[in-house]
Amino acid sequence: MKIAVVGATGMVGEVMLKVLAERNFPITELLLVASERSVGKKLAYKGVDYTIIGLADAVAAKPDIAIFSAGGDTSLEWAPKFAEAGTTVVDNSSAWRMDPTKKLVVPEINASELTAEDKIIANPNCSTIQLVMALSPLHNKYKMKRVVVSTYQSVSGTGVKAVQQLENEIAGVEGEMAYPYPIGRNALPHCDVFLENGYTKEEMKLAREPQKILNDRTFSISATAVRIPTAGGHSESVNIEFENDYELNEVRSILNDTPGVTVQDNPDTNTYPMPIYAHDKDDVFVGRIRRDETQPNSINMWIVADNLRKGAATNAVQIAEYLVDKKLV
C-alpha cells in the first residue's frame, strides 16, 4: 500500500503521521509531500528519515491513497490530478465538503456509502465531526428537529501561527498576530471569515455539514463559533430538540454504546469532559447531559474532542483504513 501524506510538515500532517504509526497502518511505501520550500528536507516516520517531495513528483508516483491536509486551494488544484492518476484522495480541507458529487464521511456513521469510484473523499470540519458523533445515534432514536450549538475552539484549529500567538502572549513577548485581537485572557466570537448573512464560514459549516453526513435535511442547526485561549481541543455546548421524548438514562446508555464516544457525566464527582482530558485521545467525550426544562423533548449536553485527532487526522486515517479493509483501493 503506497501512501502519500500531503502537507506532512503542518500541524495536522504531523499528527497524521503519528496516528498512522500508532494504528500500524499497512504502508509498504510512504511519500511525504509538502510545498516547494520544504522539498528536500527530512522528516521521520517510525524512526526512519524520509525526504520530502513535491506535489508533481507525488502524482507521478501514483500512490494508492493520498491523505491531504494542505489547505483548500492546494486541494482544489491537486486532488483532481491525483484522482486522474488513479489515487484515492482523502481531503481534510473544506474544498470538497459540500460538493454534491463528493462524499463527506465520518466512518462510524456513513463509511458504508463509499465505493471504489469515490476518488476524492471529504473529511468534515473538526467541530462537525465531534458534533455528529454524538448527534447521530440520538437522531436515529428520537429524531432531531433543531440543534443550537455554541463552540469553544482552541487556537490549534487556526494553525501554528495562532498557537505561537497564544504562547507569545503568555510569555509577554510581542510577535506576529494570527487574530485581529489578543487571544490570551480573551474570547473571540470569530472563527473563519464573516459571510453576508452575519455568520462566519465555520458557523455555516456546522449548520450544513451534519445534514449532508446524516443524509437528512429535516432538522436545522444554528451555530455560534468562539475561539478561546486553549492550546488544543474543541468544546461544544449543544441544545437538541427532538420530535420524540426520551429518558436521560437511555440517552446516556445510547451514547455509551456508540463506538468512538465516551460519556463523562457525574456532577457528584465533578466528572465532565474537558480539553485537557481529551488531549491526544481519539474518542469524543460527552457530559453535562440534562433535560432542557424550558422546552419539551429537549436536552442539553457538552461535547469535547481533540480537534487535531478525531477532528482531523484520526478521522482521515479511519477513512483510509476502511478503504483498505473493504478493498476499495
HEC letters along 292-303: CCCCCCEEEEEE
**Segment 152-201, tens digit of pLDDT:** 999 999 999 999 999 999 999 999 999 999 999 999 999 999 999 999 99
Average pLDDT over residues 272-298: 98
Average pLDDT over residues 103-110: 98
d(CA 295, CA 182): 37
**Residue 35: what pLDDT?**
92
Is 191 assigned a catalytic role?
no
In the chain, % of residues over pLDDT 90? 100
Nearest to 44 by CA among 57, 30, 28: 30
Average pLDDT over residues 132-142: 98
- 184 annotated as belonging to a binding site for a ligand: no
Catalytic residue, candidates 139, 190, 234, 279: 234
d(CA 207, CA 219): 10
- How many CA atoms does the CB half-sphere of 81 hold within 13 Å? 13
**Residue 116: what pLDDT?**
97
**Residue 57: what pLDDT?**
97
- 153 annotated as belonging to a binding site for a ligand: yes
Query: Over the chain, what is the mean pLDDT?
Result: 97
- 74 annotated as belonging to a binding site for a ligand: no
* Domain ranges in the chain with CATH number 3.40.50.720: 2-124+312-325
Is 190 assigned a catalytic role?
no
Average pLDDT over residues 59-79: 97
Please tell us whether the domain made up of 127-307 is placed in CATH 3.40.50.150. no
CATH of 2-124+312-325, one of 2.60.40.1080, 2.160.10.10, 2.40.50.140, 3.40.50.720: 3.40.50.720
- 309 annotated as belonging to a binding site for a ligand: no
- 88 annotated as belonging to a binding site for a ligand: no
d(CA 156, CA 230): 8
State the pLDDT confidence band at 30, using cuts at 50, 70 and 90: very high
- Alpha-carbon distances, residue 273 vs 26, 199, 235 (angstroms): 33, 27, 8
* Domain ranges in the chain with CATH number 3.30.360.10: 127-307
